[in-house]
Structure 1
Amino acid sequence: MGAEVKIWNPVEVAEQARHDYASQIHSSHLTIDPSLELPLMAPLVLKLCKDMFKAWSNLDDSRFVVEKISGGITNLLLKVSVKQENCIEETITVRLYGPNTEYIIDRQRELQATKYITAAGFGAKWLGIFGNGMVQSFINAQTLSPSDMREPKLASKIAKQLQRFHHVEIPGSKEPQLWNDVWKFFEKASVLEFDDSKMQKTYETISFKEVHDEIVELKGLCDLLKSPVIFAHNDLLSGNIMINYEEDKLYFIDYEYASYNYRGYDIGNHFAEYAGFECDYDLYPNMNEQYHFLRHYLKPERPQEVSEKDLETLYVEANTFSLASHVFWALWGLIQAKMSPIEFDYLGYFFLRYHEYKRQKEKYFLLARSYLSGCKNE
């Protein structure tokens, strides 16, 4: 890849966390191969749990049940249930990082964010960290599908929760990370070499000079919008949103990409995820659907009192920054195509996202420029 990878030590991170947290953060050096079939993986998970949680170290293996919750294209989630001597059952979630994801994910930044996000009451409680993953409390809820996010009632809940999330305070620099991350991805994505000759040939059809110029032009336009900087999730796809219908509770999970960023980007990226991994952009929300979401984001308790001006401003931000979302994830797809062993057409994903960027560019550039021109004339 030609890029330095910072090696992080999970135990050192856990020790640092103890200075920040009143509660103990458990740690282990053990790693688990996420590509293993569950019957082969389960004994390793039990060994990990006994190593991390001393109260479980002498329990018989028969007291543990390991189940696969979900497997995305970067993570594997496992549910571990443990019956104690007093017959009380405890449940935790073990999240295994995808192989080679350190090339695209800043794990130190993720763990810093996770500490404060969970302390603010979002998602699962962080319990510990190990060689290639983390352990969290179990959330009794189900993940959404892309079509679920379109439902007006759920859309309003997501909007309200996102507004709360954007008020989380994380110590340290509040510099927005979007363009820093885009350029890092660009540098890595533009110097790849594939062993597969067919993939290499497809890769060589990409004009990185064109991509470079598009990023420069897009950043220039986005900067003019002066979108507020907030603490953003940056990956609010359906698989990272969970709901418990009985308790009427909504959760945001997985903070791998969370950072300070532009309000418009976090919302625009969420809208782009209506299309799912299949990238069916006919599902991208129309103006009425977006306005419904934006009203509940801007004034959760009084959505009908949101001014047309505020709606227009955020609508322009979200749709312009949705273009940046396409570029970001397109470049991410190229790096994953090289680094990830997971069976997913990452190279094809690059073209789906980048072509959608080019397809929508004129429309949303015109929208943003028209808006900016109107602001000047006021």
Structure 2
Amino acid sequence: MQQDPASSQPPHRHRIDVMGERIISQVAEWLEHERTKRQNRKSQRAHGSRRKHHKDDAEGSSSQETARTRRFSLDSQSSEVSLDRLQKIIDDSMSSLGLNAIPHHSPRSGKKSQRRRSIALHRIASSDTEFHDGDVLVPGCDGVLDNSKTLSYTGGNAADGEVASTSKHREEKERKAWLTFKSEIIRLTHTLRLKGWRRVPLDSGDAISVERLSGALTNAVYVVTPPEDMMGKAEGGKKNPAKLLLRVYGPQAEHIIDRENELSVLRRLARKKIGPRLLGTFANGRFEQFLNAITLTAEDLRDSDTSKQIAKRIRELHDGIELLEDEKDHGPAVLKNWDHWLSRVSQAISFLDAKMLAGDLGPVMNAADAWKQRGLVCGTDWPTFKAMFDRYRQYVFDRYGGSKVVRENLVFCHNDTQYGNILRIRPDDKKSPLMQPNYEHKQLVVIDFEYAAANVRGYEFANHFSEWCYDYHDEAASFACNVNKYPTPEEQDRLIKSYVNHRPEHRHPGASTPVLTPLATPTMGPSTPSPGPSIPGSSSSIVEFMLDARVPPGGWKEEEQRREEQVEEQVKSLIEETRLWRPICSAMWVAWGIMQAKIPGFDPEETPKGAEGDQPGAVMPLEEEEEGDPHGFDYLGYAQERAMFFWGDCVTSGLIKLEDLPEAVRNNIKLAQR
């Protein structure tokens, strides 16, 4: 006799199905209740608006009503999106349980049961990077946070109840802008249900502190501190709000960063507990866990102990996150970025070249116009620069022996390990594991994974070593590249040897020790395919041997010597690979600087595109040109400095002779003699 499939299920499986139906019925009941309540509120607001319109003929009433509508808009729109998402979850859950209709549920004990439903819902909507079936659940909404009037680094402190007597109209205007900004932040925390922050009243913008951090170039980053009277110990089991890290995306970044991919990467990192927790997202930014940490400085990179710790953290990232096959198929992300940005970069730089070559520059009004005095941004015209990049790109692949070999060497890289993206946690407890010598390197936390993707190890090191040349807090020239600060051979050897010798505790199945064969010798004519680098597998160390293992021929001393020779060979190969990818790294950041720059008179949306998008963009009338930001980062200056570094490496590689370059490039070229 055939057994009934339902009866063959184990008892615990039956209980799970019953619980699933019960949860669905509870959530569905709540959802219907919320939709009805929201509809009633909308009707009441509309009715109240009509009554007020007839009652008050004063001009101020219209502005007050507009302000109130604006206040409610963020919550209502975001809540509607949240309810729609919840409806989809219910529909999917019903389908997985084989249900065609929402099951009926009768609470056992009235109000008590209703309270339990409310608690369960808040737990589901938690913002603390929770997991469901191995995936990370992070709340999100479509709200937009406008920080355009609060880009200064001051003005976000909690009010002390007084306005300075010396305060003038400008200071008062800025104070009001900050107050509006902080009020909208609180509203967003309520919408996203960030833990503890729903206890902060919506009208308490004056009571919270918002401090902008310097050093971030793509985004505006803030530390959001709750009211002081809520910083103490929580009472009655309620959790007080914690400090938040708020990230508002830059206006130009939408053309550079794939935000969906970035959030996907952050979820993968969360599974491995790498980096700060992601707490909530909105249309143009996100909230992250605030860590009690300090940002490294430019000088910290040169500290020997810190440098070794950075190497270990890089190794843990490379070995901790396994690349997807699709990511490997797309090849190095640095080249993917270049290809993706190429059309827009070509339009912008061609526009600048045309103005420079025509002498149609206009007056130099502030620091943002300094590019007008420095000549062509890439040192040469754009077609010449692009042609050299294409030639060097082919040169790199020839050195490996083809794209298949490059694919084998790809790992998950951060790709932006500048000092501002590395934090050092300050443990509150002296007995913290982070204070132990073996775990001290874990005090370092790498943040900002906007550019994290597949690249070769050499690119990661090329990018990191190039960042030694920058001090983004230099008031005179934060964009300048000082190649004299590029790490010495000894400093490079120290970091990469620490990387090779480190054995992460948690490695993905495909991780292996980077044993690289020497790259092919460069040729100036047509390149011959070379064996290129390869990763045959993990090397062994005598500390990994069993105590009863046989003594190797020649004894342990000879084995240890072979191990040291192997490490030295790996270090040498990685340093060679680093130098190979340095010009590619520079070129990508040249493109990045051009993409980020606000160029007066250039409108990419009206640019006629040719075969490669190299035609100049549409030019606005001179009187309508906007001024650049005099206090902002000099992106075009940064791009030009990186271009000079690129040309220097091309000369060193033998792909072009110094005397064949324009005089302006010869006079400003950057050669890292290391």
TM-score by length of 1: 0.84
Equivalent residue, structure 2, for 1:251: 445
Amino acid in the other structure paired with 1:316? E
Q: Does 1:280 align with 2:434?
A: no
2:417 to 236, 247, 256: 236
Equivalent residue, structure 2, for 1:309: 569
Equivalent residue, structure 2, for 1:169: 322
Shift of residue 23, structure 1, vs aligned partner: 5.3
- Residues 157 and 250 in structure 1, CA contact (< 8 A), matched pair in contact too: yes
2:498 to 296, 299, 303: 296
Amino acid in the other structure paired with 1:269? N
Shift of residue 157, structure 1, vs aligned partner: 0.5
1:211 to 371, 385, 394: 385
Q: Does 1:70 align with 2:330?
A: no
- Residues 50 and 57 in structure 1, CA contact (< 8 A), matched pair in contact too: yes
Q: Does 1:197 align with 2:361?
A: yes
Q: 1:345 to 1:20 in 2, by over 3 A?
A: farther
Worse-matched range after superposition: 164-173 or 96-105: 164-173
- Residue 57 of structure 1 aligns to a residue whose secondary structure is helix
Equivalent residue, structure 2, for 1:348: 637
Equivalent residue, structure 1, for 2:515: none
Q: 1:365 to 1:253 in 2, by over 3 A?
A: farther
1:181 to 313, 323, 337: 337
- Residues 80 and 94 in structure 1, CA contact (< 8 A), matched pair in contact too: yes
**How many correspondences in the alignment?**
356
Shift of residue 278, structure 1, vs aligned partner: 2.7
2:461 to 258, 267, 279: 267
Whichever structure has more strand as a proportion of its residues is 1
Shift of residue 21, structure 1, vs aligned partner: 5.7
- Residue 243 of structure 2 aligns to a residue whose secondary structure is strand
Shift of residue 206, structure 1, vs aligned partner: 4.2
Shift of residue 283, structure 1, vs aligned partner: 0.7
Equivalent residue, structure 2, for 1:32: 145
Equivalent residue, structure 1, for 2:225: 81
- Residues 232 and 266 in structure 1, CA contact (< 8 A), matched pair in contact too: yes
Shift of residue 119, structure 1, vs aligned partner: 2.0
Amino acid in the other structure paired with 1:285? P
Amino acid in the other structure paired with 2:200? L
Equivalent residue, structure 1, for 2:162: none
Worse-matched range after superposition: 341-350 or 58-67: 58-67
Equivalent residue, structure 1, for 2:250: 98
Q: Deviations over 1:104-127 (max 9, x none)?
A: 111111111111112212210111
- Residue 278 of structure 1 aligns to a residue whose secondary structure is coil
Amino acid in the other structure paired with 2:490? N
Alpha-carbon distance in structure 1 between the residues aligned to 2:339 and 2:290: 36
Aligned Cα root-mean-square deviation (Å): 3.1
Shift of residue 128, structure 1, vs aligned partner: 1.2
Shift of residue 217, structure 1, vs aligned partner: 1.9
Q: 1:156 to 1:261 in 2, by over 3 A?
A: same
- Residues 93 and 136 in structure 1, CA contact (< 8 A), matched pair in contact too: yes
- Residue 111 of structure 1 aligns to a residue whose secondary structure is helix
Equivalent residue, structure 1, for 2:307: 155
Amino acid in the other structure paired with 2:314? L
Q: 1:245 to 1:151 in 2, by over 3 A?
A: farther
Q: Look at both structures and tell me which one has the larger radius of gyration over its CA atoms.
A: 2
Q: Does 1:361 align with 2:505?
A: no
Q: Deviations over 1:25-54 (max 9, x none)?
A: 121222223333335132221222122116
Q: 1:338 to 1:80 in 2, by over 3 A?
A: closer
TM-score by length of 2: 0.49
Q: 1:183 to 1:20 in 2, by over 3 A?
A: farther
Q: Does 1:116 align with 2:245?
A: no
Shift of residue 103, structure 1, vs aligned partner: 0.8
Equivalent residue, structure 1, for 2:662: none
Q: Deviations over 1:117-160 (max 9, x none)?
A: 12212210111111111111111111111211111101111111
- Residue 416 of structure 2 aligns to a residue whose secondary structure is coil
- Residue 44 of structure 1 aligns to a residue whose secondary structure is helix
Shift of residue 96, structure 1, vs aligned partner: 0.9
Alpha-carbon distance in structure 2 between the residues aligned to 1:24 and 1:360: 45
2:597 to 337, 351, 357: 337
Amino acid in the other structure paired with 2:327? S
Equivalent residue, structure 1, for 2:200: 59
Amino acid in the other structure paired with 1:188? R
Identity among equivalent positions (%) equals 26
Shift of residue 237, structure 1, vs aligned partner: 0.6
- Residue 29 of structure 1 aligns to a residue whose secondary structure is coil
Alpha-carbon distance in structure 2 between the residues aligned to 1:332 and 1:34: 23
Worse-matched range after superposition: 353-362 or 296-305: 296-305
Amino acid in the other structure paired with 1:45? I
2:186 to 46, 63, 81: 46
Alpha-carbon distance in structure 1 between the residues aligned to 2:577 and 2:423: 26
- Residues 135 and 267 in structure 2, CA contact (< 8 A), matched pair in contact too: no
Shift of residue 170, structure 1, vs aligned partner: 4.7
Alpha-carbon distance in structure 2 between the residues aligned to 1:97 and 1:119: 24
Amino acid in the other structure paired with 1:143? T
- Residues 319 and 364 in structure 1, CA contact (< 8 A), matched pair in contact too: no
Alpha-carbon distance in structure 2 between the residues aligned to 1:260 and 1:212: 23
- Residues 238 and 273 in structure 1, CA contact (< 8 A), matched pair in contact too: yes
Worse-matched range after superposition: 304-313 or 231-240: 304-313
Alpha-carbon distance in structure 1 between the residues aligned to 2:394 and 2:381: 20
Worse-matched range after superposition: 321-330 or 180-189: 180-189
- Residue 254 of structure 1 aligns to a residue whose secondary structure is coil
Equivalent residue, structure 2, for 1:373: none
- Residues 113 and 170 in structure 1, CA contact (< 8 A), matched pair in contact too: no
Worse-matched range after superposition: 270-279 or 341-350: 341-350
Alpha-carbon distance in structure 2 between the residues aligned to 1:69 and 1:336: 19
Q: Does 1:128 align with 2:128?
A: no
Shift of residue 365, structure 1, vs aligned partner: 5.5
Q: 1:109 to 1:139 in 2, by over 3 A?
A: same
Worse-matched range after superposition: 62-71 or 151-160: 62-71
Alpha-carbon distance in structure 2 between the residues aligned to 1:311 and 1:365: 24
